[in-house]
Chain A
Amino acid sequence: MASELPTPTEYVVHHLTNLSVGEGVWTFHPDTIVVSLLTGFLFIGVFWAVARKATAGVPGKLQSFVELVVEFIDDQVKGGFHGPRAFVAPLALTIFVWVLLWNLMDLVPVDWVPYFTWKVFGLEYTRIVPSADINAPFGLSISVLLLIIFYGFKGKGLGYLKELVTHPFGSNPLLWIPNLVLNIVELLAKPLSLALRLFGNLYAAELIFVLIALLPAWIQFVPGGAWAVYHILVVPLQAFIFMTLTIVYLSLAYEEH
């Protein structure tokens, strides 16, 4: 939208650039932050409204839907994590619904929001899929990393530190360094794989939507429709994988194995 007639390359690059504010590492992406806040408040708002009026009697349709989601998550957590669920289950619910809503933004036609924000607010760039901005998945997965470490100490106390230096090779002092290195790599690989899996999937999906948008207008609905339908599978699947792996990682850190 920046120029009158963008070349295909310019169009694609434009669509994959975030609005940014600030310098260097202290750059903010207001589009990602605002969209993820909006989706987050949508989740909290709807679920909270239902929770406030939740009745054990005959539930409304919305309450049934929310209960369906909650029970589904609760079952997943029950199956994967055997400690107290007071925090882990709501955590899993938040991750699942939030990531799901992020991913759903991918189904909004690629030009609508950028065009609107450009016309109305004069913003040069707008990307509305937070999971396709590497910072959002990493923000989430690094939070999960902190929780993994927290749950390691919570479940095993100082034994968690001991485990870091004595596993997997053995407790010989000579092996402490290799053990520690391996464990740190493993620990860091967790948030990295979590974030990159989500980011990769959604980034690629967004890119394909952008490429489809470059086709002649009269044919776009064919690949666009097909890709969107396929996306109905990808969107919840990626949210589900993110959530399930978080539970698994927390469970591994928390329990003896």
Chain B
Amino acid sequence: MEVSLGTLIAQGITFFIFVYVTMKYVWPPIMQAIVDRREKIADGLAAAERGKTELEKAGARVEDLLRDARSQAQEIVEQANRRANSILEEARSEGQKQRDRQLATAQAEIEQEVSKAREELRSQVALIAVAGAERILAREIDAKAHQDLLQQLATEI
């Protein structure tokens, strides 16, 4: 364990050479790489953050659009329902009117038929009466026969 000035000086010189080389060729590129990578990572993280907020915004927009679309659809359905109801109502009232009209026509026709029939009946009763009278006159007096005829007449009227 003796002091050796030669070794000591040699070590010192070597040391400074190594420090110089380290300073010149080793440290800067490694540090540069570290700094660059840091930047890259920071950029990447920022981009991811941006992407996330954009996604959130897009999600919100989608939600809005969906809500709008839903309410619009609701409105359209309601409108359609209203329209269907009104069409139905119209059709119903139209039908009612038509039915009333047709009923009235039918009643009028029936009444006409009835009066016509009555008229016919009346004229036929007259004819039957005339025919009965003719037959009575043709057979002369026979009370019993008269009785039968009169009975027959009565049923025919």
Contact = CB atoms under 8 A, between A and B. Distances in A.
A50 interface: yes
B2 interface: yes
B34 A90 contact: no
Interface string B1-34: 1111111111110111011011101111111111
B30 A37 contact: no
B37 interface: yes
B26 A135 contact: no
B36 A43 contact: no
A100 to B, nearest CB: 13
B135 interface: no
A93 B22 contact: yes
B40 interface: yes
A90 B4 contact: no
Given A94-B18, A134-B3, A140 B26 contact: no
Nearest to B29: A51
Interface in A1-56: 16, 18, 20, 22, 25-29, 32-33, 36-37, 40, 43-44, 47-48, 50-52, 54-56
A57 B32 CA distance: 12
A25 B34 contact: no
Contacts of A54: 29-30, 32-33
B5 A89 contact: no
Contacts of A87: 19, 23
A142 B12 contact: yes
A90 B19 contact: yes
A86 B4 contact: no
B7 A59 contact: no
A164 to B, nearest CB: 23
A203 B18 CA distance: 24
A212 B137 CA distance: 177
Interface residues of A, number: 51
A86 B11 contact: no
Given A27-B2, A27-B4, A59-B33, A139 B26 contact: no
Contacts of B34: 67, 70-71
Nearest to A41: B18
Nearest to B21: A44
B33 A55 contact: yes
A139 B11 contact: yes
Interface string A57-73: 10100010011001100
Nearest to A49: B26
Contact of A136 (B6, B11, B36): B11
A151 interface: no
Residue with the greatest number of chain B CB neighbours at <10 A, chosen from A26, A56, A138, A203: A56
A98 interface: yes
18 contacts: A22-B4, A26-B5, A29-B6, A36-B11, A44-B21, A44-B26, A48-B25, A50-B30, A51-B27, A56-B32, A70-B27, A90-B22, A91-B19, A93-B26, A94-B19, A136-B11, A140-B15, A142-B8
Interface of B: 1-12, 14-16, 18-19, 21-23, 25-34, 36-37, 39-40
Across the A-B interface, give the 5 residue pairs with the lowest CB-CB distance, nearest first. Answer: A139-B11, A56-B36, A54-B33, A90-B23, A135-B7
